[in-house]
Chain A
Amino acid sequence: MEAYLFYIVATIAVVTGVYLIFEKNPVFSALFLIQTMVCIAVLYILLEAQFIAAVQIIVYAGAIMVLFLFVIMLLNLNIKEEAKNALPFQRIPAVVMGIVLFAAICMIIKSKLLQGKHGEYTTAYVNSVGNTKLIGNLLFTDYLLPFEITSILLFVAAIGAIMLAKRKL
């Protein structure tokens, strides 16, 4: 049952991902990206990571993509103008590098690098404590410093954006 669900959702995610790249109209591209994000959230649920699934939808599909769409709609990009290839010399190196990257990913997946040993957090343990509680505990004890540094980074980025947008404050 779960395997079937995985194949269905994963197929949709890949197909929408391909459409996202090849779609000419930026609004449709953004909508396809939202669909990919929602599919990834479903994959998280299949992995029994409900908290991350919910946050994935709230943050990426719900907040960031709305801003994307908002900006695309405000600018109202013209489809004809961007049809010209701005960087003609880019095509051949791009294809080569793409093939190299794809080969590298395949090699890493085939090798034993990703198969680390099992940690102390088994699925049964996570379900008994609760997803959210476990993540919260770790964030505010073991990983407090990285967590705080990330929040400061985001804060600085927000201030930077305001400074750029409003030169005369």
Chain B
Amino acid sequence: MDTELILMQLFSGVALGAILVLTALGLSIIFGMLGVVNFAHGALFMVGAYAGLWVASLTGSFWWGLLVAPVMIGLFGMLIEYLLVRPLYGRSIDDPLLLTFGLSYVLVEGVRIVFGSDGIPFPTPSSLTGVVDLGVGFFPIYRIFVVGVVVIVVLLLWLGLEKTRFGLIVRAGARDPTMMRVLGVDISKVWLLVFGLGVGLASLGGVLSGPMRSVNPEMGALVLAEAFVVTVIGGLGSLLGSIIAGLVVGIVISMTALFAPEMATIVMFALMALVLLIRPQGLFGKLA
């Protein structure tokens, strides 16, 4: 097998991994702050893709879709936190999980009613179509763009968490919410924003992946399973873990697809099983 093909496949793995990083980060941020695993994460990824498609077709520009949809769905996420998840704080940790699972049914069926059950093609913006020769091979411009966007988003997120007052509160609040309240920080407002941020990241992933996969109401199911695999491998609540595990899983899926395409999806679960055997808390997770 020639190196060029391997390199190209490696790069598709990175692009796929970049999307996984976004969804897993969203999941992990929400969990780290609120202690809630959002089972509607995959469905919101899917809703994000549809929202991006809708805004793009309204405005005639992919760029509006990319910018507006994550904000829109992020705000919708805040509404979900405020109306549905908030009443469950203080109850069993299973309750928000069950609720968001039920919500995913409603979201998937809602999208079917509005957009129909069949997949819709999500055209790649004309300025990002085609391939570019990087000396070692031809790479699709759109995938390079996706990786670039994810790198910027992750950097912004890191800066936001490390360098701003909001980030300080988020990090401290994740450790000790009661203390934050004692210090006079309105922790519920932080929860609202973090939930919105996590959902926004998922829907950004949805819009970005639109031109790479077909957009259909069921796409969220695989995304949710993938996000779980990545966060379990990386360690739930660990942002660095999500990033590294996301890239590793993306690359492993892509490389397997090259040699044994029928094993591509299966291998990521096998990877997770392996990590569970060796390190049940995940690569970057702390022991409970």
Note whether A and B form a binding pair. no
- List chain A positions with a Cβ less than 8 A from chain B: none
